[in-house]
Structure formats: C-alpha cells, structure tokens
Structure 1
Amino acid sequence: MDRPTVFISYSHEDEAWKERVSTHLTVLHESLEAWDDSHIEPGADWRTELEQAISGAGAAVLLISAHFLSSRFILEEEVPRLLQRRADSGLHLIPLLLSPCDWEAAEWLQRLQLRPRGARALSEQSRHAIDAELASLAKELRLLTSRSVQDVVSAPYLPRPVDVSISRLPLSGEHLFGRERELALLDGAWADPDTHVISLVAWGGVGKSSLVNQWLGKLAMNHYRGAHRVYGWSFFSQGQRDTTALADDFLSEALKRMGDPAPTQGAVWERGERLARYIQQERMLLILDGLEPLQAQPGPTWGRLKDPGLSVLVRELAFFNPGLCVITSRVRVTDIDHFRNTTAPVIELEGLSEAAGAELLQSLGVGGSQEELQQASRELGGHSLALNLLGTYLFGELCRVYTLLGEPARAVQYGERAVGLSRETGAAWQHSRQLAILACALTQCGRSAEAEELCLRAASLPRGEDWLVFLFGDLAYCELLLDQGRSQEVFLRLGPYVEWERSSGSRQLVGTLQWCLGKAHLRRSAEAPESLGLALEFLSEGILLMRKVGTPMLITPALTSRAAVHRLRGSFELAWRDLPAAPGACLSHLTQANTSMTTCPLADPPGGT
C-alpha cells in the first residue's frame, strides 16, 4: 500500500526549516512521505508535477514566514491550488509559523488553525520545544492521513457492538462548526493501532463534549466501526463534590458493566488495574469526559489524577490498548505525559476560526453582515459556548423587550427560540434564566399554567455549587406566585437564599432579596394591612443596598414598588419623589408589573401636574 503523502509548501529561504520538518515526518518511513518541490526532476513539467502532488496529498504543511508570505510563486501558484483542494475534498492544511511575521494580514490564513498553539513562532522556542512541536505535528499528520480510516469506513459490513452505554455523557448542541480537523484526528486515532489514549484539552465551553458527541454520532452510523463495546462516563456532571466518590462510582459501575463478579471489592488501585485488564481483552471505545474535578490543582502536581485507581487505569491503557480511550479535560493528564508523542497524543482545542464562529452565529439566527459576525467571533475569541450564549442572550432579550412592549405573542416566539438554544449550550443556569424569561411572556399571554410549568422545570435543574446564579429564575417564579396571591410560597422559595446570606456574611444578594420580599409583603397588604409597613422597610433597605452595590436595572422596579407602598399609605409626595429616579420606560408599569394595582391610578402630585 502506498504511503500517505504530506505536501510541504515553503520558501527556499527557509530550506533549513523544511529539512528539519521533513526529518520528523519521515522518522517512520512506512507511515508518511514528505513531498516538496525538490522532488521535481530537472527538465520536468513543474506545473504538472505540482498539480499531481497537490491532488494526491493526504495533508499539506505550510511553513509560514515573511519569506513565504512575500513569495509570488507560493501565493499565486501553490496556495490557491491548496485552498481549492481544501474546499473540494477537505484537504487538511496546517500552517506552521517559523518566525515572527504579519501573518494575520493574510485573510486566507486567518481561516486556518495556526501552529504552534498561541502563534508562538518556532524560532522563538528552545531546541527541545521545537522538536516536541514537530514530533506532535508528525503524530497529528499520521492520524489525519491514516489510510485505515477509509478502509474501515468503506467496509461492506461491520458487526454491531455487544454493549453501548453513553447516556452518562453530557448533552450538547445538534450542530458543530469548524472542527473538521479534530473529527479527522479522532477518526485516525480510532483506526490507528498505535494510538491507545487521546486527550482533548481546552478550557470550559470551547466544545470538547460537543466534539465527542458529534464524533460518536458519526461512528454510530457505521456500527461504531468495529468496536466490541462503547462506554462513556462524565465526571463533571455528576453533581458530587467528593472526588473519591466520583472515581469510586465510575470504577464500580464500569467493572459491573464488564461482568466483574465483585466490582466494589479490592483496593482502589487494584480495581483500576482490574478494569484495565478487562478493557485490554477487547476492542473497546472508552470515553472519560470532564476529568478535571479529579485532577490536582495548579502547583507541582498540576494535572495529575488524584485517584490512584484512575491513574492506574489510564497508564495501563497508554501502555497497551487494542481499542481507544478518549479523555476530555481542561488540563492534560500528566500521569501519561511521557506517552504524549507516542501512544497517547493530546489535542489542544483552540477557539473557532472567525469564519466558523460567524457560521455558528448565523445558525443561531443572529443577523448581521459576514464582517460583523466575524468581528463578534473575533472579539469572543472564537469561544464556542460564548457564541452560543450570545445567540441565546439576544433572543432572550428580544423576548423581554416584546414582553415590556405588550406584544406577548412575539415575545413567546423569541423566548421559545432562546430556551431551545440555551438547552443546547448545556449551561443549566442559562437554561434556567431563559425558561424564566419565557414564563414571564406566557404569563402576559394569560397562559399561567404553562408559565408555572416552565418555572418548575427551571427549579428542578441541577445546580451544583454555583446555585446562586439561579436566583433570576427563582425571582421570576416568585413574580408568578405573587400574581396568584401565593405570597407564603415566595417566602419559602427565597428562604435558602436568605439563609445563605446570613451564614456567609455576604452582601451580594441582600438588596435583590429585600426588594423581592418587599414586593411579597406589598401583595399581602390587601389581606394583611400590617404587611404594608414591612414592605416599606424591606424595599427601602433593598434600594439602599442596591445603590451601594451598583445594580441600577434592579433599582428601577424596586423604586416603582416603593412608590406604590407610599401611595397606599397616603404619602403621595414621597411616591412621586421615587418616580423621577426610575427610568421613564418603567413608569407605565407602576400599576402593572410591580404593584398589581391597575384599578388604582396615582393621584396627582401636590400642586397639580
């Protein structure tokens, strides 16, 4: 079988760099063949030779420097052909930055993922770092050009796995943009018998879980390409703080799944070793998602697995594994660092390209020119979750705007879109917020039962340690309860927040809570007149605290609520004194959203209007 060819595009001024790259690519002669223009024989038709080399290449490496970017031959002959091949058949183009230059001025280059990571030129790195980067590049190219991938994909029949369990993996969005290279790397890793573990490393929200889910979807279409067993587990979404419990649950469940007669017995390290032995007996695809809770924090041991059972497992699999273990984490697992350039490569995910980010925003329904969408992507660093949240936020805010404008039907349309998008982000707090916004619009439509159902859904979402970010959703539910005269339930729902404030000594939420409690007492004043004094007390303290913290958007409804209290107490001058401090846009809602006194308009101020 012919070896896959890697086309090298370079300037002759960078001949030494080209030789260095070629040396790394051809360390294993049976794996890759590097091609450059030195292969063209004297007197041969260079154009034909060039065309044939590009059309037959499995991937291309572009050695970027000032010499490269100033070469007319490269920019007019090679680059257009390579870009066309990329557009036509998905040729993998990898630009490698040799030395500092204004590469960002080349628009076509901005759409590609530059190496090294962070655009730190090779010439600025140590010899050891350069060799490590080039070895990693060679491994990546071997995976990208693996012929065995196509052999497996085109096989006439592949048996179904005996067991598939991926329900514990986190949900993610339906679409994936700008990750063709990473998908190809995963394909290559699964087809490559010399790749035992592969790690996807990036900070939260870049799209690690979405990438894995999309890849699993592709594999499922072809019976998981020969996998005997598929098992996925997420450590990040289990909602437990005890890392020992997280690892113990996984080891017990995995051993049980593999048919171990005593999955809970034995020392932790022994159970990890036992699980590795089971996995090594078959071609199994194991996905370990969100390992960061089980890794050491920044320091001398940063990234090392704290659980000895998991540490033994991944090290044993790095030594030998007829299948593949896929790890996702925010930092690489340093237990297997010494396998990084051999059997356990690491894919460090970067943000989406500007073009892919713009495509993602378009799919979310965000309007704007291509230039504007690319600028938004650039300003957000191509961060996948941030882009998804931007689309979600825009639709959510449109829902709020049309709710305030008294157009609930349009508000519901935008709100439903925002809820759908927030579900795809996988961010529970954002989903809770959008459910609450939609509930407000449904309430205005008179669909209170549906609104309450959404509020209950928001309240049931897993909150973990960051439950304070769910306050917005709970406040929306409280509004609904108050409209129905269920003030006592409001006090019960806000109880945990009040208790947290008292126990922590924090003043972060006090103003907001006081405002909401004040409104609850205001709504009770018709049946319990003494509540009016409590309402004034809570609202005044809340407004004072919110002014200190600096939350003007919340001060507006709080002032309108306090104005309603003053009016009911007969203090019209004080009521009108609160109104100028609130933005005019909210005045029309004084007797609607915050007071529920539509039948009691304000009296004229002393002296007339």
Structure 2
Amino acid sequence: MSDPLILLCSNEWDTKWPTLIANHLLALGLGREHVRLATADEAGRLTAEGLRGVESARLAILLVSPDFLASRAMMKEALPRLVIRANVKVTRGQTGDTEFLPVILKDCPWGLLPETVTVQVSRELQQPLEKRDLREAYRAMAYIARRAVGHLVHIGAMPSELAWSALPESQLMLGNFRHALVAAESVEREILLHQLGVAWMEPGTRVVNLVGELGVGKSSLVAHFLALLSREAWRGAERLFCWSFDEQQRAGGHHSADEFCFALRQFLSDVEDAPEAWWETGARLARLLQEERTLLVIDGLDHLLRADEHGTARIADDALLMLLRKLLHAHNGLCIVISKQPLADLAPWEGEGLSTIQVDRVAKPDSRELLAKLRYPVTSSEIDDAAAAASGHFIAARLIAACRAARGSFPATLKRHAQRLTSIPLDQLIDGLLQELLEAWNQPAITELLSLLACADQPLEVTTIENLLGHLRRDFQANSDVSAEQQPWGATLVQLDGTKLRAILAQLRGAGIVAHPATQLVVLQRVAREAFLRRQAPLESSRGAQLHRWLAEELQLQKSDGPITPPRIATLLRAMQHRTEAGDYHSAWHESFLAALWQQEDVLKLETVRDFCYRAGALELLIDPTTQLPRAGLSASDQWRVAQLHRHALRSAGRFSEAIATTTRHLERAKLPSDEQGGNLELVPHLLIELAQQLLLAGRVKDATCRVNELVALPDLAKQKQLFRDAVMLTARVLHLKGKFAEAIERYKLAMSIPRESSHLLGAEHWHVEAVFDSGNFPLAEKTAWREIDDVAPHDFAIAAGYRFVLGRLYLALRAHSGDWRYREEARKHVQQAGTLARKTGLLEMILPAQLAQAAVYRSEDHHPQAAQLLADVTMLSERFGLKHLSLDCSLEKLLLLLASGATVEVYEQLTPLKQKMTELLYGRPVRELRLIEGKFVVGKVAGSSAAAATPPSSSTSSPSTS
C-alpha cells in the first residue's frame, strides 16, 4: 500500500465530516490511496495506519474539537511528530517536510494547539463547521480541498493538471459525486465528449440522458467533461451542482430524491418553507435553476426507476420527475442524467429539449492507459492480460487491478470471472467473486465488491453470507469493546442499504443461521436511519446520531450470539402513545415501526402503526415494512392484517395498478377452501369492498360493477351491518358516477341510516353530499355538508377534506351563477382547507382533486396562467397514476379555462371527443360542467337523428348566459 499524501486527523466517533472532506478531495483528482484517516485504537493509541500517515503525509488536515484536544493519540503522538517534521527544514529557510491545515469542527479552545499549528488557522476556517448551514459547510469543504490540492501541486507531489480553474466556492457544489474531475485522455470517447460539448452550447438541448450498462464509464465520462469545461472557464456556466444516487445509497440513504432536493434547495439559497406537495418542490427547483445558467449533473438515477406494466423505466419519485419535465420546457443551462436505461417519462421530448446519448464499451481499449487511470500498482508484465480480460469494461478492470494489488499475482480464476463479466450482468457474478475473495481474505477487492453490491439488484447467496459473517463475527469478537460501525468490516457492511441488509438477515433466519448481535445492530441502525430520512430533513446529522444512540441504549445489546429483540416493547409503546398525543407523529412512527418490526409475535401493533402513519400523512411508509416483514410463523389473522396494511400503503402512494393486482391476488387466495393455504371465506367480502373502491378510483366502472354485484350476491350479507352498509355505498357510488343521481341518493340515504363503526371505504362519507350537489340541489348540499363537518373527529382528515372539497365546488358554482364575489372568497377558503387536510391524509386520491379545485379557484379569479400551470401538473399526475375519471375532470376544467380566455373554437373542437371518451368510461357525473360548457355557444340538433349537426361559433362571439 502506497504512503498517503494527506492525513485527516480526527477523534470524532461520527465520521461524517472526515468522509465529506475526503469526498471533496477525491473529486479534485486525488486517489483513495492518497488520503488516510488517523484515528485511535481501543487503547487510545494511534493505529498502525495512522502512524504510517504521520510519517509520510505531506499535509495534515486537523479537525479540531474538544474530543480532539482531549485525545492522547492526537495531542501526545500525532501532533508532536508532525510538528517535528514541519520544523525540519524551516530553520534553513526552506519549506517544511509537512504542512498543517487546521479546521475548527466544534467550539473549543483551539489556542491550546502548538504555535506551529495555530498560526495557520485561516480566517475562512475559524467558524466551526458544525455551526454552518449546509451551503456554507460545503463552501468551506471546497475551500479545504482546493487549498490541499494546491499545496500538493505547489510542492510537486501531484501533477499540475489537478490545479483546474473552478467556479467560486459559492457557485460550486460537487455534493456526493466522488469521481475525480481529471481530464485524462479517454479511449474512443472523443465523439461522446464532443456530443456533450454541443449539448452544452446548443440552446435547444436542455437535458442529456447518458445511457449505458453498469460499469462502462458513464460517470467517468461526465467527470472528464467537467474537467475539460473547467480548463475553459466553464464556457459560460455560472453554477455547477452534482449529485450521485449511487453514493446516496451506499451511505444508507433511501430510494427517494428527498435528500437531493434538500441539498439543491440549500445550494440555491431557497429560504422559503418546503412545499407540502412533491410536485411543487420540483417546480420550485426548476424556477430557481432558471435564475442563472446552471450545469446540473444527476448520477445513478436507476435507484429511483421502476418498471411499468410494459417493462419500460419510469421515474418513481415525482418531485424529480416534475423537475426534469420543467427543465425540458425551459432551462438556460444543461442537466446531465446518467442511467442504465432510457427514461420513458422523458421520451416524448426527444429532439425537442432531450438528447439521449448511448455509452458503449470501449471497442479497442488502450490497455495501459485504461488501467493506469485506476491508480493501482499493476506491473507491465501482466497489464496486457488484465486489460484483455477487462475488454473495455471499467468495473471489470477495477476489480482485476484491486485483486492484483492485494494478492501479488493475477489469479487465473479471477481472470476467468472477469472474462465472463464482459458477457453477462455483474449481478450474477458478485456471489462467485466474493466467495473466492473471502477464501483468500482479500480485503481491498472485497471492499470494492461490497461497494458495487450497493448498486446490484440481486441478494447474496446464503452460503456467501455465512462465510462473510463468519469473518465479521471473528472481528467483532476479537474487538468486543468497539462498536460495530467502528470496525473496518462493520463500516464496509454499512455501505449496503437497510433493505438489502434486512433481506440478507431474512435469508439467514430462513437457513437457520444466526448472525452476530453486533451485525444485527448495524441493520437496526440502518433501518432507523432510512425511516428517519423519509420524514425529516436528510442532512440533520445531529438528529440521526441521537436516534442511533437511543437505539443502542434501548436495545441493551448483549455480547453473545443470538437474535436481538427489543426487551422493553411496553416502554416503547407507552412513549409512542404519549408523544402521539402531544402531536409528535415522527417519533411515534420510529418507535412503533421498530417495535412492530422486531417483535414479530406481536403483529397486532402494526395496526397501531397504521393509525399513527395515517395521522401523520405517511401511509406510503408502510410499503417496505409490510413487504419485508417475514411471514413465517405468523397466524392467519396476523398475515391478513399485514397484507391489508400493504394494500393501503400502495393505494396511498398512488400505485393503484399494483394495489388492484395485489388485492385481486389476495381475493383469489381467500376464495380457496379453508383447508388449503391462504383460504379464508370470511375475508372475501372485505376484499371485494377494497377491490371495488380501487377499481372506481382507477375509472374502471365496468369491472367495479362486476365486483359490487359479486359482493351483493354473497349470502347473509344483510346480517352483517357494516359490510351491508359498505356494499350499499358502493352500489350508490357506481350509480353516482354513471350520472343516475336520484337512484344514487336513495341508496346513499339507506347506507347513511346505518351507524358507521368500522369501514374499508376510506373517506367515502362525502359521496352523499357530492351526489346531492351534482344533482343541482345546492341548498340541501350546503346544509348537509355543514352539518356533517361539525360531527367529524379531529383526526379524520380524509372525511373533513371531502366535505370541504364539496363546499368549495358548491361556492364556485354559486359564484358562476350569481356573480357574487363573496361566494368566491368562501370557495377559496374551503378549497385551501381541503388541500391542507388532503395533504395530511397522504392519500393521492384526495390531494389531486383538491389541486384541481384550486385551479378552478384561479380561473374564477382570472389568474389564468397559474390555473393553466396547476392544471397541467394535475393532468400529468392523474394520467401517470391511471386516475381516468380525474383526468376527464381535468379536461373539462381545461375547456372552462379556454372559454374564460375566449378560445371558443378550441372548446368546440375538443368537446365531442371528450364526450365520447366519457361515454366509453361510463362517466356521467359531471353533467353540470358539460351543460355550462355547451351553454356558451349554440349547438344545432337534428331531431330524431343520432347524428348532431352543429355550427362552430367564432371566438369573437359573445357568450350567452349559462344554463
């Protein structure tokens, strides 16, 4: 192992700041072997690697804190030796053998440091990093990295190519993009670099999608392009922001863009409160990026992709999708997106703002150059064999070089694996490679493989996991006084995300293998951090560290083999209850989630979890837990409760097609005879009710009618009051959507006469008032809605939102008929309240109609641009999630907006196809809106004929009164 050039001296148990500073150094072209972290061992003395760094490093970055000043390893061992080296040549008027770069991490009396160090504390680094906001902290770390690399270049320790000209620190944020920005000549990449350069200078290209298989060098290509731009003063770029979802997952982040959006908002100095709706977040970020010409790089987007029913890649995070779509419409910079598959969501803009560039393997690789860039000590005698095995595949070359560096010779078996790697996916080879490397205990290559495992799609085989955990267990037992994350292999294992760790442990339990408690603690910490990242600002590390410490205290880890179960579940649930009563749903979510997940015999607590997640508007958080929770050993009733929570979570997230497929599968299983696995005829009516409502939400009225008829035909249904009530409500809803209001109202009255105790119809109580309003009886609808609102419980957000939504529509209609401005004020108030309550539910089926009503309010206030923008967003989301009836409502609102703008001809051209589509979908509910639109112009009808003749009015014709 080569000697390091930079030594990071820190005594913090949390390696956040050393890791971030190291990432900035790597981004400026330094290799991993050039940067080393000096820490103390369990005896409080400097480790062997730390001593080697003290003797050889040319620059020492000191992260000064109270713990640093109290550390014997730092103050008594590392600093005296570094000071001696720094003063060796100073007496002769020359530069010292090493230099210091002190960084104040936390408030402390840093004047206690030796004078050789204190005189070098720069003004920029005197303010503690812990007290800075995110953007200021990144600016400071960029300054540290720039000074460090500049010093190494000045003394000749690094090539001058690393001294690339950069944007000001305030306008540069590399984020977690760890690829070195070095413009080393690439093999057969000139054409791709030229395409990127043309895209940057071409105003019509706003988003570039780099597509290629895993490991062909897409990220390295972008790093090369950025380095070339830096040599040319960035060719007019005013800001640069880079983000890698690969690194986010390796650091334990969740598969969402929350952390990315949070960091980008900080970088853009967005001081306003975060929008409550995710599409508003994407739209606001796009507007802020428009202010200056910005180069935005998004790497590793595959972690946020999921395949639709056709197998095409769709972006699962809607905030990021909205951001990219807005950039495609208007962006004076360039956004580079790196993925393994083309983005189907953006495909319609190909050639009109989007440019997709395919990155293939290097056809004729320059062997020596390809492996030399990896900075591994491969000798010239074996470089040809290694490069031939890599065959232009960057990851294969990196694995080969790592194995060569660690074992001293190029093994034939690894060469064979690497040759296979060129023809089949990497996921299928990870297990074989890791098994072989474990036998030889090849630490550098295992570290490389485990880092790649965070990007892989397949879990490890149980035999490989057992072998790996065997080595881990020996390490943990040999150092039982040191926590898991402070162990070298514990830190490596933590690179994997919590979902994969849970899957690994589930495989172990299924095979009868018991993991060491310290390993399970790492899993618990990762699970808790994922839950924390979902609902809280991701970079608030103090809260995350507090949660980790709380876990360590509550679990009371035992130093013996055996699975961990929380010994104080009752205490946790009591604390959860108290915090929930105080309105702290976030803490309640953490504690109840952990309690239910790890105390599997008490799955009934999951219903409590569901209640609190519903109150916090976070039902979608139950998708992963209910999927990953092992079902072995659970009773049939407990398995039913877990499955029900999973279906509710899918519906809350807007994944209606998955919810319908899952409910249908559960229904068919429940219909099996009771002696067969999964059969339970008592569950059939409950599943039919859920399935019918899901089908109605998706606009599949015919299928929903079949399910309702099947429900009504069940024997003894009338004897079960709540099931009978839900069945009558669904029958009325079908009639309501078909436009048969009188029949629907009669059935609604019958259902409402039965007291409501428990129901599977989430938020369905407002259907009755909605039917009364649609029938035109405005006074009765208003009176009924106000009476029902008074009886709604404070935490029933969905019910209250439904009634507020109906009142908002009602007052908008009264405003259109009477022209009284007071109705408009009432409509605005109720629509805003409906939107707030809908966001609290977290149910997409409530949020989008509230947004549509807000667009109608904008239209009534003559704010046509805002209405059109919001309407376009709701239309896109309703089509994306398959809400067909809502999509038709959006089309009707669009026609009303066109009429308000005077575009009568366009309305006439679009009305007939829209009515035909409504007929096909059996959607007759919006009769009032259709009459309002048709009343704006004269439509001639031929009596007794199926065809209607009409004369399109001119757009200049004045509008007659509404019907």
Q: For the pair shown, which has the larger CA radius of gyration, 1 or 2? A: 2
TM-score between the two structures when normalised by the length of structure 1: 0.42
TM-score, scaled to structure 2: 0.28
Structure with more relative contact order (C-alpha pairs < 8 Å, separation 6 or more):
1
